[in-house]
Chains A and B, each alone.
Chain A
Amino acid sequence: MTVVGEQTAATLTLPPSVEHVRTARLVAVTAARRLGLDEQTVDDVRLAVGEAVARAVRRHASAGVDDDVDVVLRDDSGAFVVEIDDRAPANTPDDDEVGLALVTAVVPDAEVQGGRVVLRWPATA
């Protein structure tokens, strides 16, 4: 964990293999709880981060890319933001539409652009 100014951020660098998806979920869940998100939202974080990182791993496998996947978790003025960046070419096809459908169903603000997925949960009142 590194602390930058008033914001807390964690960066996770993962080899692109399926056994590491669980690690990303655990780190995201811990960060979400630390930020005080309720347990139902924590469940959504677990699901969405897992799906987004699994997508990145699949994209790497399909493009034959061995580079790491970056996951950045940060507190943006009380909003919880998770950024997943993969190194597969932007146009790498993704065959799992269900995974992304789940992400958009449980994240209030989800942005997917090629190999970059940004998940944002607003600050709790």
Chain B
Amino acid sequence: MSTHDQDGIAVVSAAGEIDVFTAPQLDSELSAVTGGGQHRVVVDLSRVDFLDSTGLAVLVKTLKRVREHDGGSLAVVVTADRVAKVFRLTGLDTLIPLHPTVESAVAG
């Protein structure tokens, strides 16, 4: 889990599997970012090969937080079909835009 700034947007990168065991790490990373006053966020899941409902819940929570601020935004980078599928099945892809690369997510 790491965070870097790209064009004024916080890019949070995760890797491996995000599930009920590991989602709290993503949650604390994202809470630190939004708690630190950064409300334009991209979550890079391109190196994530599994995401469950707990991971989705962390993203929904983050979406609510960034939306409380003018100009706040959340986008996600997804490359694995398996990960994209959970966004589609829950309809979350209609609330959080999915991008194929960090560059396109940052560009909006």
Contacts and interface: CB of A to CB of B under 8 A. Distances in A.
B2 interface: no
Contact of A47 (B20, B21, B52): B52
A105 B21 contact: no
A58 B19 CA distance: 13
Interface size grouping (class) on chain A: 20 to 34
B1 interface: no
Contacts of B20: 18, 21, 50, 54, 57-58
A65 interface: no
Interface string A54-76: 10011000000000000000000
Interface of B: 17, 19-21, 50, 52-54, 56-57, 81-82, 85-86, 89-90
B54 A47 contact: no
A123 interface: no
A38 to B, nearest CB: 13
A90 interface: no
Contact of A98 (B19, B57, B81, B85): B57
Contacts of B21: 18-19, 21-22
A112 interface: no
A88 to B, nearest CB: 16
Nearest to A106: B89
B86 A47 contact: yes
B89 A54 contact: no
Contacts of B56: 98
Contact of A105 (B17, B50, B57, B89): B89
Contacts of B19: 18, 21-22, 25, 50, 54
Contacts of B57: 96, 98
Interface in A102-118: 102, 105-106
